[in-house]
Amino acid sequence: MNPVYTPVRELAEAVRARQVSPVTLTEAFLDRLERLGPRYNAVVTVTRERALVQARRAEGEIAAGGWRGPLHGIPYGAKDLLATAGGIPTTWGAAPLRAQTFDFDATVVQRLEQAGAVLVAKLAMVELAGGMGYRQPNASFTGPGISPWGGAWSGGSSSGSGSAVSAGLVPFAIGSETWGSILSPAANCGVSGLRPTYGRVSRHGAMALCWTLDKLGPLALTADDCGLVLDAIAGPDPRDPTAAPRPFRYDAGDVPGRRFRFGVIRDVAAAAEEPVRDAFSRSLELLSRIGTVEEVTIADLPYEAITRTILMAEAASAFEEMIESGAIAGLTAPEDRFTAYARDAILAKDYIKALRLRTFVVREADRVLSSLDALVAPGRPAVASPLDQEFRSAARGNVPDVMGAIGNAAGLPAIAVPNGFTESGLPTSLQFMGRAWEENTVLAAARAWQGITDWHLRRAAVDA
Partner 1 sequence: MSEPARDPGEADLRFALVRLRYGDRLTAEQLDALRRAVETIVEQVAALRTVPLTNADEPLQRFVPFRADE
Catalytic annotation, residues? 79, 157, 181
What's the CA dihedral at 281, 283, 287, 288 to 10 degrees? 40
Q: Which of residues 96-135 bind partner 1 (CB under 8 A)?
A: 133
Bridge pairing between strands 291-296 and 260-265? parallel
Residues 161-220 that bind partner 1 (CB under 8 A): 212
Least spacing, CB of residue 308 vs partner 1, in Å: 6
Classified as helix, coil or strand, 223 is helix
In the set 4, 286, 301, 327, which binds partner 1 (CB under 8 A)? 301
- Choice between 164 and 323, CB closer to partner 1: 323
**Would you call 407 helix, strand, or coil by DSSP?**
helix
Part in contact with partner 1 (CB under 8 A); list of ranges 81-89, 157-165, 272-280, 306-314: 306-314
Of 305, 327, 385, 390, the one binding partner 1 (CB under 8 A) is 305
Question: Among residues 104, 93, 96, 101, which one has the least CA distance to residue 129?
Answer: 93
**Residue number with CB closer to partner 1 (313 or 444):** 313
Q: Which stretch binds partner 1 (CB under 8 A): 284-292, 321-329, 364-372, 428-436?
A: 321-329
Among 326, 386, 425, 451, binds partner 1 (CB under 8 A): 326
Q: How far apart are CA 19 and CA 24, in angstroms?
A: 11
Among 61, 251, 335, 364, binds partner 1 (CB under 8 A): 335
Cβ proximity to partner 1: between 270 and 464 the closer is 270
Among 13, 350, 364, 390, binds partner 1 (CB under 8 A): 350
State the number of CA atoms in the 13 A half-sphere of 2 facing the CB: 6
Q: Is the dihedral of CA 120, 124, 127, 130 positive or negative?
A: negative
CB of 103 to partner 1, least distance (A): 23
Cβ(144)–Cβ(153) below 8 Å? yes
Total binding residues toward partner 1, as defined by CB under 8 A: 35
Q: Is 27 or 335 the residue whose CB approaches partner 1 more closely?
A: 335
In the 8-state DSSP scheme, what is residue 146? B
User: Nearer to partner 1 by C-beta: 240 or 335?
Assistant: 335
Q: Of 349, 446, 366, which is closest to residue 411 (Cα–Cα)?
A: 366
| 107 membership: H or E segment, kind and range | helix 107-114
- CB-wise, 249 or 356, nearer to partner 1? 356
**Which region, judged by CB under 8 A, interacts with partner 1, from 77-85, 171-179, 269-277, 304-312?**
304-312
Binds partner 1 by CB under 8 A, chosen from 72, 195, 358, 380:
358
Contact 257, 368 (CB under 8 A): no
The answer to whether residues 90 and 82 touch, using CB atoms and an 8 Å cutoff, is yes
Name beta bridge partners: 174. 78, 218
Distance CA 166, CA 188 (A): 10
Question: Which one of residues 39, 57, 277, 353 is an interface residue with partner 1 (CB under 8 A)?
Answer: 353
CA angle 53, 67, 239 (to 5 degrees): 70
Alpha carbon distance 134, 115 (integer Å):
36
| Residue 306 makes contact with partner 1 by CB under 8 A | yes
Does residue number 437 form part of the binding site for partner 1 (CB under 8 A)?
no
For partner 1, the binding residues (CB under 8 A) are 133, 212, 300-302, 305-306, 308-309, 312, 324, 326, 329, 335, 338-339, 341-347, 350, 352-360, 362, 397
